[in-house]
Structure 1
Amino acid sequence: MQTRRLGNSDLHVSEISLGSWLTYGVGVEADKARACLDAAFDAGINFIDTANVYGRGAAESFLGEALSGRPRDSYILATKLFFPMSDQDRGLSRDQVHKQLDASLERLSTDYVDLYQCHRYDEHTPLEEAMEALSEVVRSGKVRYLGFSEWPADRIRQAIDMAGVEKFVSSQPQYSLLHRDPENEVIPLSAANGISQIVWSPLGQGVLTGKYKPGEAPAAGTRATSDEMGGFLKDLMTPAILEAVQQLRPLADEAGLSLSQFALAWVLREPNVASAIIGASRPEQVHENAAASDAKVDPSLFAKAEEIVARARA
């Protein structure tokens, strides 16, 4: 497992990281989730990503228990705030930053998190207030570094230009062969200002694994059959996209990789990407995806893959 420096921080995160959205504490049984976590450490993954809203605290509580036997300096832990935890508790106000962080720390059974991320931009809180509050928790020692997820480029620029506050070191966008929007503004702006990408959904909600076949109903137990999770897949489950993914198989074969590994390697070809977050319900998924780290792929194969996907999305 290779590591990359996270922006202008002193954190070096594994190229593949383990996420907990829709899985740990919610959709995956505790013993299976713990097996995935153990597999991640066995594979050299050192970066664990979660959020307060995942299972309304359940994912953090699971991690707090599951990580309790490991030295705190042996892993890098990230969580987030913004989305509602109750009718009153949401957003990035000063009160919420302090309240939600303290609640997350209690659930995670730790004195600090390495990375605290704004899950979205808060249009109802002045940016100055949010940045000042985030700076306060860094200076208190409860947070080492700050990040954001899915912020628009103009808001990122405003935060970068703000004086007297702690600076962001990470951005967490959706990014994959099927979703390349961050390349337009977010990645160039970030790269110029000491901010790295931590990518979510690098496998396109599982579509890039090739498990969904054109003309076939999704297999029972997959994300596409879940009422809770399937909605995120609607735009990706078109016949054209599913057929395009199958056309990527020969390219992955030529690279000596599985389709999943090929898709992850494509994401990691971007120097501004520090880590790609995977979700897993089985240890073997963790090991397969972790093997994408430091994969050597002929750039011409990636170019062909981009052409195939572009045609499908045209």
Structure 2
Amino acid sequence: MRYRTIPRTDIHASSICLGTASIGSTLNEADSFKMLDTFVDLGGNFLDTSLNYADWQCEIKSVSEKTIGKWMKLRQNRNRIVVGTKGGCPKPAEGRFFRLSREELEHDLQKSLSNLQVSTIDLYWLHRDDPSRPVSEMIDFLHEQVIAGKIRSFGCSNWSVERIEEAIAYSEAAGKYGFCANQMMWSLAEPNPDGISDKTLAVMDQATKKYHETYDLAAVPFSSQAGGFFGRALSRTELEKAKPSLGKYFNDVNFGRLERVREVAGEIGAAPSAVALAVLFAQPYAVYPIIGSRTTEQLADSCAAGQLRLEEKTARYIETGE
């Protein structure tokens, strides 16, 4: 596993980030601990969770954070783990999609600190944006939390590039801490525009890529494996029949990329899923893909991408065919 320091921070994180929405819920506590232990054994140290994981399917609220907190305490490994969690979480069941007031953020941060059993969160994310709220309010609050020692650094998730640019410009002009990283939906497979039901999700596009390159802003993409689109040795017809849930990725561009991923994987002796992740690393800025695994075998396969790097021309060939 390769490591890289997140720009503008002192956080030295594994290039693969483990998504933990299933920790403590879909995976019971014993299996969750096994998954976390295996990730560490494979060289990983970067975890991504959220205050609301997985409230939609578990009676225990914030079960992901609570399970991670218990695991770190039992393993006594807090100083070796980079924990990122999210606040300002939307509550659609209550009709509250924007929860970014100072009071709401303070509430969420204190809950996360308690759930994780830590005094400081390494990387704190704003889970959504509220375009009607001045960026100065949120940056001021997060800056204060860094000064207070409650968080080390902070980033944004599902923000438009225009709002990210506005927030960073404000933080620099005010001499305050600013966003060090951005979370967006991004994988080698581009989703069909009409295939994403949640319109509050931000998808990586060319303008966002350009800003990341210009500002050297770290990208920590979710859905980086496109739901396993590149991990199944099926023909196009077989994949369309077997996995209709991946329909948002069914288009000629992605199936062309799938074919070239398999070609390159065969040439270098790597798993296609690892090659697809490695394409994301071939950027002029830091990238830490968030992976999701149901088994430790899948986890090992995905973590293999943590040390795989492709030449720029190979990554370009996979993406464009040229």
Query: What TM-score, normalized by structure 1, do the two folds share?
Result: 0.86
In the alignment, which residue of structure 1 is the partner of 2:82? 76
Q: Spell out the pairing of 1:206-221 with structure 2 (5 A cutoff).
A: 206-210=228-232, 213-216=235-238
Alignment-mate amino acid for residue 87 of structure 2 = L
Q: Distance in 2 between matches of 1:265 and 1:244?
A: 13
Overall identity of the aligned pairs, in %: 27
Q: Distance in 1 between matches of 2:89 and 2:164?
A: 19
What do residues 116-136 of structure 1 show as CA deviations (whole Å, max 9, x unaligned)?
Answer: 011121124322211111122
Moved more, 70-79 or 28-37: 28-37
Computed over aligned residues only, the root mean square deviation of the Cα atoms, in angstroms, reads 2.6
What do residues 234-281 of structure 1 show as CA deviations (whole Å, max 9, x unaligned)?
Answer: 311458745752453122111221011101111111131331111111
In the alignment, which residue of structure 2 is the partner of 1:259? 272
Alignment-mate amino acid for residue 17 of structure 1 = C
In the alignment, which residue of structure 1 is the partner of 2:161? 153
Q: Distance in 1 between matches of 2:11 and 2:107?
A: 25
Q: Spell out the pairing of 1:275-286 with structure 2 (5 A cutoff).
A: 275-286=288-299
In the alignment, which residue of structure 2 is the partner of 1:14? 14
Contact 2:156/2:181, CA 8 A, preserved across alignment: yes
Q: Distance in 2 between matches of 1:211 and 1:52?
A: 36
SS of residue in 1 equivalent to 2:238: coil
Q: Distance in 2 between matches of 1:189 and 1:173?
A: 13
SS of residue in 2 equivalent to 1:8: coil
In the alignment, which residue of structure 2 is the partner of 1:136? 144
In the alignment, which residue of structure 1 is the partner of 2:210? 188
Quickly say closer, same or farther: Cα 1:213–1:111, change in 2 above 3 A: farther
SS of residue in 2 equivalent to 1:182: coil
Contact 1:210/1:245, CA 8 A, preserved across alignment: no
Question: In the comparison of the two structures, how many residue pairs are matched?
Answer: 299
Contact 1:8/1:194, CA 8 A, preserved across alignment: no
Moved more, 85-94 or 184-193: 85-94
Quickly say closer, same or farther: Cα 1:302–1:68, change in 2 above 3 A: same
Alignment-mate amino acid for residue 258 of structure 1 = A
SS of residue in 2 equivalent to 1:176: coil
Quickly say closer, same or farther: Cα 1:71–1:240, change in 2 above 3 A: closer
1:111 aligns with 2:119: yes
In the alignment, which residue of structure 1 is the partner of 2:189? 178
In the alignment, which residue of structure 1 is the partner of 2:319? 306
Contact 1:32/1:281, CA 8 A, preserved across alignment: no
The one of the two structures with greater contact order (alpha-carbon pairs below 8 A, sep at least 6) is 1
Q: Distance in 2 between matches of 1:152 and 1:7?
A: 20
In the alignment, which residue of structure 2 is the partner of 1:166? 177
SS of residue in 2 equivalent to 1:305: helix
Alpha-carbon deviation of 1:13?
0.9
Alpha-carbon deviation of 1:40?
0.6
Contact 1:215/1:239, CA 8 A, preserved across alignment: no
In the alignment, which residue of structure 2 is the partner of 1:293? 306
In the alignment, which residue of structure 1 is the partner of 2:283? 270
Moved more, 254-263 or 86-95: 86-95
Quickly say closer, same or farther: Cα 1:51–1:147, change in 2 above 3 A: same
Contact 2:120/2:151, CA 8 A, preserved across alignment: yes
1:64 aligns with 2:69: yes
